Structure 1
Amino acid sequence: MGRMPGSYTGVVPVSAAQLASALSVTTVPAFITGSWSTGMPVLWVNQAFEELGGVGIDELAILGPHSLLALVQDDPNRAAAQADLKAGRAMRRIVSARRRDGGTTWLQVDVTPLPNGDDLPEYWVGVTTDVSEYVDQQAEQLASLEVERRQRADLDLIAQTTELLGDLEYPFALRDIADLLRSLVPWSGFYLNDDGLLFAEGVDVASPPSGRGRRHTRYVPEDRPLDRLEPVPSGADGGAPASNPAVDDVQDLLDGVVDGPVRLSLEGRFDPTSASGWLRRDLMHRVVEETGAVPHAVVVHAVAGRRRVLGLLVTWHGGAEADVHPGRPEPDHVSTVVEVVARRAGTAVDNARLYAREHRLAEALQRAMLPEQADVTGLDVWTYYAPNAEHAQVGGDWYDVLQIADGTVGLVIGDVVGHDVEAAAAMGQLRSVVRAYAYELTTPGTVLDRVDQLVAGMRVPRPASMVYAALEHLTEDDTWALEYTRAGHLPPLLLRDGTTQLLSEAGGMLVGFGNETRTTGREVLRRGDVLIFYTDGLIERRDRSLKRGLETLTEMSGRITARDAAGVGEELLSRLADSPEDDVAIVVVRVPDPEADRRVTALSPRSRRWLLPSEPGSIGRARHAVLRTSQAWGLPDSAAAELVVSELVANGVLHGWGNIALRLFDTGDGLRIEVEDSNPAPPVATDGHPNRLGGFGMQIVERLADWGWRPSTSGKLVWAKLRPDLTGGAGQE
Structure 2
Amino acid sequence: MPPSVGDLVLRGAASIGVPVFLTGAFEDGLPLLWANEAFEKYADVRFSDLAGRRLSVLGDRLSDPEDAAKVSAHLAAGEEVQAMARSALRGGISGWVQVTLTPARAANHGRVTHWIGISVDVSEHMERQAAQLATLTVENRQREDSDLIAQTTELLADLEYPYVLRDIAELLGHVVKWAGFYVNDDGLKPAEGIDVANPPSGRGRRHARYVAGDDQPRGGPQRGIQDQLGDTTAAGGTTVAPGRLLEVVDSVQDLLDGKGDEPVTLHLDIPHAQYSASGWLQRELNRRLTDEMGGVPRSVVVHPVAGRKSTLGLLVVWLADAGADEVLFYEGTDESEEVRGVLEVVARRAGNAIDNARLYAREHRLAETLQRAMLPEQAEVPGLDVWTYYAPNAEHAQVGGDWYDILQISTEIVGLVIGDVVGHDVEAAATMGQLRSVVRSYAFELFTPGEVLEKVDQLVAGMGIPRSASMVYAALRKKGDEWQAIEYSRAGHLPPLLLRRGEVITLDQGGGALIGFGSRERTTGEHGLRPGDTLLFYTDGLIERRDRPLRLGLEALLDTAAAIQAKDAAGVGEELLARLADKPEDDVAIVVVRVPDPEGDRAQPTLSPRWRRWMLPSEPSSIGRARHAVLRTCQAWGIEESAQAELVVSELVANGVLHGWGHIALRLYDTGEGLRIEVEDSNPAPPVATDGHPNRLGGFGMQIVDRLAEWGWRPSGTGKLVWAKLRDQAK
Residue of structure 2 in register with 1:521 after alignment: 525
Deviation at residue 423 of structure 1 after TM alignment: 3.2
> Alignment partner of 2:442: what SS?
helix
Q: How big is the shift at 1:387?
A: 1.9
- Do the aligned partners of 1:622 and 1:662 also contact (CA within 8 Å) in 2? no
Query: What amino acid is the match of 1:224?
Result: R
Alignment of 1:103-114 (within 5 A): 103-114=93-104
The answer (yes or no) to whether the contact 2:210–2:279 under 8 Å persists in 1 is: no
Q: Report whether the alignment pairs 1:548 with 2:552.
A: yes
Structure 2 regions of 5+ residues with no counterpart? 212-219, 693-699
Matched to 2:644, the amino acid is: V
Superposition pairs of residues 331-410 of structure 1, within 5 angstroms? 331-410=336-415
Deviation, structure 1 residue 25: 1.7
Q: Which amino acid aligns with 1:390?
A: E
Q: 1:275 to 1:599 in 2, by over 3 A?
A: closer
Q: Is residue 2:180 matched to residue 1:189? A: yes
The gaps in structure 1 that reach 5 residues or longer are 2-11, 687-694, 727-733
Instruction: Determine helix, strand or coil for the equivalent of 1:82.
Output: helix
Within a 5 Å distance, the mapping from 1:64-213 to structure 2 comes to 64=54, 66=56, 75-116=65-106, 118=109, 120-205=111-196, 209=200, 211-213=202-204
Distance 1:153 1:580 in 2: 45
Shift of 1:350: 1.5
8 Å CA contact 2:206, 2:275 repeated in 1? no
1:538 and 2:538 correspond = no
- Pairwise mapping of residues 465-480 of structure 1 onto structure 2 (< 5 A)? 465-473=470-478, 480=484
In the TM superposition, residue 333 of structure 1 has moved relative to its aligned partner by 0.9
Distance 2:547 2:435 in 1: 31
Q: Secondary structure at the match of 2:313?
A: strand
Note the C-alpha offset of 1:39: 2.0
Q: Could you say which residue in structure 1 is the equivalent of 2:632?
A: 625
Tell me the equivalent position of 2:206.
215
Deviates further, 265-274 or 436-445? 265-274
Match of 2:214 in 1: none
Distance 1:65 1:333, change over 3 A: closer
Q: CA deviation at 1:264?
A: 3.5
One-letter amino acid of the structure 2 residue matched with residue 177 of structure 1: I
Which whole-Å CA distance do the structure 1 matches of 2:403 and 2:465 have between them? 16
Q: TM-score, normalised by structure 1?
A: 0.84
CA offsets per residue over residues 36-78 of structure 1, 9 Å max, x none?
A: 1122222222221221222343222253564666887884422
> What are the superposed Cα offsets for residues 623-659 of structure 1, whole Å, 9 maximum, x if unpaired?
66236522xxxx4xx5x34433443455578887488
Does the 8 Å CA contact 1:413/1:534 hold for their aligned counterparts?
yes
Q: Who is 2:319 aligned against?
A: 317
1:158 deviation in Å?
0.7
| SS of aligned partner of 2:92 | coil
The separation in 2 between residues aligned to 1:294 and 1:677, in whole angstroms, is: 40
Q: Does 1:41 align with 2:31?
A: yes
Structure-2 residue corresponding to 1:233: 233
Paired residue secondary structure (1:128):
strand
Q: Deviations over 1:416-435 (max 9, x none)?
A: 23334443333233222222
**8 Å CA contact 2:653, 2:679 repeated in 1:** no
Q: Distance in 2 between matches of 1:416 and 1:152?
A: 54
**What residue is the counterpart of 2:307 in the other structure?**
305
**Which shows bigger deviation, 512-521 or 318-327?**
318-327
Note the C-alpha offset of 1:97.
1.0
Letter in 2 for 1:584: V
Change in Cα spacing, 1:315 to 1:400, as seen in structure 2 (3 Å) is same
1:658-681 superposed Cα distances (whole Å, 9 cap, x missing partner): 887654322224444556789986
**Is structure 2 residue 26 aligned with structure 1 residue 24?**
no
Q: Residues 514-547 of structure 1, C-alpha deviation per residue, up to 9 Å, x if partnerless?
A: 2322222222233443322111111112222222
Conserved 8 A contact 1:380-1:590: yes
The structure whose RCO (Cα within 8 Å, separation 6+) is larger is 2
The structure 2 residue matched to 1:578, chosen from 576, 582, 602, is 582
> 2:469 maps to which residue?
464
Task: Judge conservation of contact 1:29–1:49 (CA < 8 Å) in 2.
Answer: yes
SS of 1:188's equivalent in the other structure is strand
Query: Which residue does the alignment assign to 2:280?
Result: 278
CA RMSD after TM alignment: 3.8
Query: What does the per-residue CA deviation read over 1:279-310, in whole Å, with 9 as the maximum and x for residues that have no partner?
Result: 33433444455445553333221100111011
Secondary structure of the 1:211 match is: coil
Contact 2:210-2:280 at 8 Å conserved across structures: no
How many Å apart are 1:249 and its aligned residue? Answer: 0.8
Q: Distance in 1 between matches of 2:283 and 2:691?
A: 40
Cα separation, 1, equivalents of 2:71 and 2:4:
33
Secondary structure, counterpart of 1:63 in structure 2: coil
Q: Deviations along 1:222-254, whole A, 9 cap, x unmatched?
A: 863224435642586664527445431111222
The percent of aligned pairs where both chains have the same amino acid is 53
C-alpha displacement of 1:22: 1.7
Q: Residues 489 and 685 (structure 1 numbering): CA distance in 2 closer, same or farther, change over 3 Å?
A: farther
CA contact (8 A) 1:109 1:129 kept: yes
Contact 2:391 2:615 in 1 (8 A): no
The aligned counterpart of 1:257 is 259
Distance 1:599 1:235 in 2: 87
- Aligned partners of 1:439, 1:144: CA distance in 2, in Å? 82
**AA of the residue aligned to 2:669:** F
Aligned-pair CA distance for 1:381: 2.5
Q: Secondary structure at the match of 2:420?
A: strand
SS of equivalent residue, structure 2 residue 380: coil
C-alpha distance in 1 between matches for 2:140 and 2:303: 25
Q: Could you say if the C-alpha distance between residues 129 and 494 of structure 1 is closer, same or farther in structure 2, counting changes exceeding 3 Å? A: same
- The Cα shift of 1:346 comes to 0.6
**TM-aligned CA distance change 1:14 to 1:448, over 3 Å:** farther
CA distance in 1, matches of 2:337, 2:140: 16
Amino acid aligned to 1:15: V
Q: Does structure 1 conserve the Cα–Cα contact (< 8 Å) formed by 2:299 and 2:327? A: no
**Counterpart-to-counterpart distance in 1, 2:238 and 2:651:** 64
1:569 equivalent in structure 2: 573
Task: For residue 484 of structure 1, report the CA deviation from its aligned partner.
Answer: 1.2
Q: Name whichever of 205-214 and 711-720 sits farther off.
A: 711-720
- Greater CA drift, 587-596 or 317-326: 317-326
- The answer for the alignment partner of 2:223 in structure 1 is 224
Shift of 1:145: 1.1
Give the partner amino acid of 2:123.
S
Q: Is the 8 A contact 2:330 2:336 kept in 1?
A: no
Deviation at 1:586, TM superposition (A): 0.8
Q: Give the AA of the match of 2:223.
A: R
2:667 & 2:361 partners in 1: Cα distance? 27
Q: Counterparts of 1:470 and 1:395 in 2: how far apart (Å)?
A: 25
Q: CA deviation at 1:561?
A: 2.7
* Cα distance in structure 2, aligned partners of 1:15 and 1:647: 113
**Aligned equivalents of 2:650 and 2:241: distance in 1?**
61
Cα deviation code 1:292-339 (max 9, x no counterpart): 555333322110011101111122323468484476698221111000
Asked if 1:437 is matched to 2:428, the reply is: no
Q: Residue 648 of structure 1 contacts residue 718 of structure 1 at CA under 8 Å; is this kept in 2?
A: no
